[in-house]
Amino acid sequence: MSRHPAKKQPPKPKVSGLLGLGLDGRDGHKRITRGEKFAIVGGSSETHERMTEGIVKTLEKLSHKGKTLEDAEPAEVADLLRENIPDKK
């Protein structure tokens, strides 16, 4: 038996939800979209729509892989978000 206790590994980071924050809304509208694992606040109409589409597609792709946000590695979630948020026109 070892005299030294086993070193505890720090917990692996997990993604439990996504928050989109749009800062370009200038028309006075208060845009808020909430889903089971995400919330999107603010932004212009175009920005808010792009963020919503990107997050929904990301969650769908994870679901097709049989994963939830909590199951996926943070880097995988970030890659999917970059891939699924449409470029600004």
Mean pLDDT of the chain: 91
Tens-digit pLDDT profile for residues 17-49: 999 999 999 999 999 999 999 999 999 999 999
Predicted model pTM: 0.82
Domain ranges of the chain: 18-84
What span, in angstroms and rounded, lies between the C-alpha atoms of 29 and 25?
7
Sign of CA dihedral 69, 73, 78, 80: negative
